[in-house]
Amino acid sequence: MAEHASKVELLRKIDIFSQLREYELDNIAKYSEFISLPKGEVIFTQESKADALFVVEKGRVGIISVESDNNVVIAQIISRESFGELDFFGRTNRTALALTEEENTVLLRFPAKNYSSEEIFSKHAFISASMLYRLFRIISERIYNVNKLLQDKTFWLHDLHKQLLCDKMTGLFNQTYLKEDFVNLLPNLDKQAALLMIKPDNFKFINDNFGHDTGDKVLNLMAIFLQSELSADDIGIRYRGDEFAAILLNTNKENAIQKSKQISKTFKTMDMTTLKIPDDIKIQVSIGISLYPEDADNSQMLVESAHKKMFQARDTGGNRVIV
């Protein structure tokens, strides 16, 4: 009885259930169950069947979009919030992965595993109708609020856009910049440009032998030294992991090679003794160069070309530039 009352009390605090009558809440609670999960437990996977919706009673859940190259956290669900309802009512497969982010996360699952939604809604059609009506109201309110935000918070949105394009650790632009904004930059160029993709050959050795915290500090140093070699018009980027990139505007092949060699030389002068890395260990890098428009006339192909050349440089011994 106490558990049933706890379910009803939790449901009252959730948007899609808050307007339901007491007997409706009683029925939903009857067909629901509490589940307790450890940290890192997968609740559902992308493309799996959406056979339930969930409410967080305690803990936190991450909603993750699984892409080809990486995973992107698109939402964090905390206590007294629901998730999975759009896929559940839409009768579609899951559009993202969900997993617990805290120990002893407690969820309310509707329906419980020993029930099917078809069976419940067949017996109690009013439940699905009431919940769907409330869900549509919530979605329409959110759309209205987003549109209002777009009208009233233009400056804030520009600032948010900048933050999305910035790597929080190094302060350089991030991979998103190359995917989204770089594509708009190229058509406006009247002259040549060069894209450098840069990867340290011995970063794994440093990370494995001196620790990840030291590795992060080395990456920060590399970002500072890379930026010091770029002109005001050039653009420094942390591409992913230990990979960096640089966009050199109004640059021909000869200048791009010269700049790449200078960047490589500069990295070797980095003093890492303050990080307790012996002075005889120096950062060596492999650099791939692609030129616009000679090698590619669009941003995606330019990135792919430079990235491929960077690995060619590394696979042929490293500490070199390939153009």
Which CATH number applies to 2-151?
Answer: 2.60.120.10
Q: Which fold has domain 175-322?
A: Alpha-Beta Plaits (3.30.70)
User: So where are the chain's domains?
Assistant: 2-151, 175-322
Which amino acid is present at 72? V
Q: What is the dihedral of CA 158, 60, 113, 130, to 10 degrees?
A: -50
pLDDT range class, residue 163, cuts 50, 70, 90: low
Which amino acid is present at 7? K
Q: Helix H segments across 40-189?
A: 85-90, 117-123, 125-152, 154-164, 175-180, 182-185
Please say whether the dihedral angle defined by the alpha carbons of residues 153, 157, 159 and 163, taken in this order, is positive or negative.
Answer: positive
**Cα(95)–Cα(268) distance, rounded to whole angstroms?**
46
Residue 156 predicted with pLDDT over 70: no
Please say whether the dihedral angle defined by the alpha carbons of residues 46, 50, 55 and 59, taken in this order, is positive or negative.
Answer: negative
182 in Cβ contact with 299 (< 8 Å): yes
* Ramachandran region, residue 107 (left: φ > 0; alpha: ψ -120 to 50; beta: rest): beta
Q: What is the pLDDT of residues 89-124, one digit of tens each?
A: 778 899 889 999 999 999 999 999 988 888 887 777
Q: What is the pLDDT of residues 269-306, one digit of tens each?
A: 999 999 999 999 999 999 999 999 899 888 889 999 99
Look at strands 60-66 and 71-78 and give their pairing: antiparallel
CA-to-CA separations, 130 to 52, 127, 263, in angstroms, rounded: 17, 5, 63
Residue 323 predicted with pLDDT over 90: yes
Residue 125 predicted with pLDDT over 80: no
pTM above 0.75, yes or no: no
Tell me what percent of the chain is helix, strand and coil, each rounded to the nearest 5: 45, 25, 30
**Cα(177)–Cα(189) distance, rounded to whole angstroms?**
17
